[in-house]
């Protein structure tokens, strides 16, 4: 980085000298009072401009410039991390060149704290005293750098766990929304007049299916018994009346059969009416105004599939001696 920056500065300096040799004045910015002001260049160019002072052993000037460029409150400070790291090494070089060895430790500490994995400076670019000082500062900051590294790892792990939790929560919310989208709540409104219908209709409406089947079976059995008893009793009574008209009085067995079927008719009829009344009463007491139930429904399609459409159109070509007719198709 430093060699590349130095080459950039030398190239720019050579172009400026050629312009001056051709007689064209070099452009310069001036303050209103006539003092010259250097133009703010890119971070790489600014570094290259100050590195030239290091190579010229102008340590006082380069230390002052690096102080301004590395000042976090300066308006024209260096911003790029890789350029700032190299500038701190050169700043330490300038301070060591001035004999301010203790002061040179601060930019080295800043560089190491910013990048705990930072390697020692290149021995082909920086003098041995800078490299030795860097190693010494790194050794002094060993525990701090280890702690910073652990903190960085723990922070990365916490961020990863937080991101994973956020992703899990998002997926859980999406699944919940999908499940809710698949479900549809249906409200069934009940009516009291339906609860008046016998045969367990009121119980079925209230959702009590077991009791509904019990009333339905009981009332069907009693009703069927009453109908059969009525039919048999009527038939036997008609035959008895015919025998009486013919002058043949019925025997004791016929009268017993009439009595038995009459008893069955009475019991089944009153039993049917009693069970039906009991079912209606229970349905009215246990009446449920409405029932909510959830049913599945298909998810709405986000995009409708677009089918392939085949289109035909006539094609007519007229020439000087012929006419052509055809059909063109497209899809």
Fold classified for 2-20+38-149 = 1.25.40
The stretch 101-124 carries a mean pLDDT of: 87
Work out the pLDDT band at 225, boundaries 50, 70, 90: very high
CA-based nearest residue to 126, from 103, 95, 80, 81: 95
CB 114, CB 70: distance < 8 Å: no
pLDDT score of 194: 85
**Would you call 2 helix, strand, or coil by DSSP?**
helix
> Residue 330: is its pLDDT beyond 80?
no
Q: Which residue carries 């009463």 as its tokens?
A: 281
- The answer for residues whose C-beta is within 8 angstroms of residue 65's C-beta and 6 or more apart is 50, 53
CB 264, CB 258: distance < 8 Å: no
Domain limits, the chain: 2-20+38-149, 194-295
Count the alpha carbons within 13 Å of 43 in the hemisphere toward its beta carbon. Answer: 14
**Token pair listed for 306:** 């677009």
Lowest mean pLDDT among 38-42, 188-192, 228-232: 38-42
pLDDT score of 238: 83
Work out the pLDDT band at 224, boundaries 50, 70, 90: very high
Phi-psi label, residue 55: left if phi above 0, alpha if psi -120 to 50, beta otherwise: alpha
pLDDT score of 7: 42
0.85 exceeded by the pTM? no
CA-based nearest residue to 262, from 250, 251, 270: 270
> Residue 14: is its pLDDT beyond 50?
no
The pLDDT mean for the chain works out to: 78
First to last CA, the chain: 60
Most trustworthy range by pLDDT among 19-33, 218-232, 240-254: 218-232
Work out the pLDDT band at 305, boundaries 50, 70, 90: very low
- The answer for residues whose C-beta is within 8 angstroms of residue 83's C-beta and 6 or more apart is 1, 43, 44, 47
> Residue 29: is its pLDDT beyond 60?
no
With 0-12 / 13-18 / 19 or more C-beta atoms within 10 angstroms meaning exposed / middle / buried, residue 87 is buried
Task: Answer positive or negative: Cα dihedral of 46, 47, 52, 54.
Answer: positive
pLDDT score of 325: 66
Beta strands in the chain (DSSP E): 29-30, 36-37, 183-189, 290-296, 311-318, 323-330
pLDDT score of 25: 40
Work out the pLDDT band at 331, boundaries 50, 70, 90: low
Higher pLDDT, 25 or 148: 148
What confidence tens digit (pLDDT) does each residue in 82-95 have?
999 999 999 999 99
CA 218 to chain centre: 57
Higher pLDDT, 300 or 233: 233
Q: What is the largest CA-CA distance in the chain?
A: 163
What confidence tens digit (pLDDT) does each residue in 31-77 have?
434 334 457 788 898 889 888 888 888 889 988 988 888 888 888 88
> Residue 26: is its pLDDT beyond 50?
no
Residue 112 DSSP symbol: H
> Residue 192: is its pLDDT beyond 60?
yes
The stretch 156-161 carries a mean pLDDT of: 90
Adjacent-strand bridge partners of 30: 36
Higher pLDDT, 31 or 247: 247
pLDDT score of 90: 92
Alpha helical stretches, state H, 121-208: 128-140, 142-182, 201-206
Work out the pLDDT band at 140, boundaries 50, 70, 90: confident
């Amino acid at each position: 980085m430093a060699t590349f920056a130095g080459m950039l500065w030398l190239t720019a300096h050579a172009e400026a000298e050629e312009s001056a040799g051709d007689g064209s004045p070099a452009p310069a910015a001036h303050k209103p009072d006539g003092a010259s002001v250097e133009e703010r260049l890119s971070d790489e160019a600014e570094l290259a401009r100050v590195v030239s002072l290091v190579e010229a052993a102008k340590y006082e000037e380069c230390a002052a410039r690096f102080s301004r460029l590395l000042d976090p409150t300066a308006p024209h400070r260096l911003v790029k991390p890789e350029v700032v790291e190299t500038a701190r090494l050169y700043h330490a070089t300038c301070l060591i060149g001035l004999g301010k060895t203790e002061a040179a430790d601060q930019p080295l500490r800043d560089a190491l704290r910013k990048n705990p994995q930072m390697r020692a400076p290149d021995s082909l670019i920086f003098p041995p005293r800078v490299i030795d000082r860097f190693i010494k500062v790194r050794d002094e900051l060993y525990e701090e750098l280890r702690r910073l590294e652990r903190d960085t790892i723990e922070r990365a792990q916490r961020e990863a766990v937080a991101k994973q939790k956020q992703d899990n929560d998002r997926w859980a919310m999406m699944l919940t929304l999908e499940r809710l989208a698949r479900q549809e709540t249906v409200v069934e409104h009940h009516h009291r007049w339906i609860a008046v219908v016998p045969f367990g209709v009121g119980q079925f409406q209230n959702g009590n299916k077991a009791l509904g089947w019990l009333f339905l079976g009981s009332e069907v059995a009693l009703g069927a018994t009453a109908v059969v008893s009525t039919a048999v009793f009527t038939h036997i009574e008609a035959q008895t009346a015919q025998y009486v008209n013919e002058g043949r009085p019925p025997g004791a067995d016929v009268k017993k059969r009439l009595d038995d079927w009459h008893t069955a008719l009475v019991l089944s009829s009153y039993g049917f009416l009693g069970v039906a009344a009991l079912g209606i009463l229970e349905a009215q007491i246990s009446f449920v105004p409405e029932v909510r139930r959830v049913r599945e429904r298909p998810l709405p399609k986000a995009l409708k599939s677009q089918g392939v459409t085949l289109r035909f159109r006539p094609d007519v070509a007229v020439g000087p001696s012929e006419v052509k007719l055809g059909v063109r198709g497209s899809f």
